[in-house]
């Protein structure tokens, strides 16, 4: 099975707050984990990419993967109104180095940053 | 920058029509994908292709077919459009690390 669970929100926080977004999954075969940001009526935009367990930081964004718990997180520091969007977690099995499989997505969390 | 383009942003079709959605990528990627996105259901994989003329079914292939005659172009075909195929259609391509890059999407309304 390929279920990925993600709280749909909406999640509303004040500007400058730290945001924590999470997904859980059931299939231990997933190897590659991603976070996408999607603005209304646009295509998803890749934010973060992680292989297996561990942390990865890029500017105000930190992605964490805990494969033992089947749990992934995205943290946004110093949140800005422009961060208001839907955030999608996604994962794949890793055939062909990760590129040959479709992604399984969470349903997305709608994030609102209040000025 | 990776660029994935889709032929139309909005389409209105009638039930029973044959519909073609076109996608082009400019990064020489081997793998291309078609998803549909619906409220409450998220993104679901319809078909993907890992090489020219090769295709694999995704999670919801019924009612769809695909064509990949050239590496940069991947087409989704609705053989006989139905109202339950009204959706946002997203094309993506990926390189060897598995990161997928999406086009802007096509909003299809079937009346």
Give the 3-state secondary structure of A94-107: CHHHHCCCCCEECC
Q: How many domains does chain A have?
A: 1
B79 versus B99: the higher-pLDDT residue is B79
Range of the domain at A100: 4-114
CATH number at residue B75: 2.60.40.10
Which of A89-98, B3-12, B22-31, B56-65 is predicted least confidently? A89-98
What is the average pLDDT score of chain A? 91
Range of the domain at B66: 4-110
Which is it for strands B73-78 and B19-25: parallel, antiparallel or unpaired? Answer: antiparallel
Q: Is the CB of B58 inside 8 Å of chain A's CB atoms?
A: yes
Of B43, B94, B105, the CB nearest to A105: B43
Q: How many domains does chain B have?
A: 1
CA–CA separation, A26 vs A8, rounded Å? 18
**Each residue's pLDDT tens digit, A21-31:** 999 999 998 98
Confidence check: pLDDT of A1 > 80 = no
CB contact under 8 A, A43 and B95: no
CATH number at residue A8: 2.60.40.10
**Each residue's pLDDT tens digit, B29-69:** 889 999 999 998 889 999 999 889 899 999 999 999 999 99
């Amino acid at each position: 099975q390929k279920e990925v669970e993600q709280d749909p929100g909406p999640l509303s926080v004040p500007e400058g707050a730290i945001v924590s977004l999470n997904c859980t999954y059931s299939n231990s075969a997933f190897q590659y984990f991603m976070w996408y940001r999607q603005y209304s009526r646009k295509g998803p935009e890749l934010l973060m990419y992680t292989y297996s367990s561990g942390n990865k930081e890029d500017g105000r964004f930190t992605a964490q993967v805990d494969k033992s718990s089947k749990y992934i997180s995205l943290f946004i520091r110093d949140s800005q109104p422009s961060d208001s969007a839907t955030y999608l977690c996604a994962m794949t099995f890793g055939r062909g180095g990760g590129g040959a499989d479709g992604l399984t997505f969470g349903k997305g969390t709608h994030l609102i940053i209040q000025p | 920058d990776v660029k994935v383009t889709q032929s139309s942003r909005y389409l209105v079709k009638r039930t029973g029509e044959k519909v073609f959605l076109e996608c082009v990528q400019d990064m020489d990627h081997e793998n291309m994908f078609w998803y549909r996105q619906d409220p409450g259901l998220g993104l679901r994989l319809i078909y993907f292709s890992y090489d020219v003329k090769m295709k694999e079914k995704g999670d919801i292939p019924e009612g769809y077919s695909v064509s990949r005659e050239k590496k940069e172009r991947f087409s989704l075909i609705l053989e006989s459009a139905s109202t339950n195929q009204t959706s946002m259609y997203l094309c993506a391509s990926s390189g060897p690390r598995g990161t997928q890059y999406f086009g802007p999407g096509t909003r299809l309304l079937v009346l």
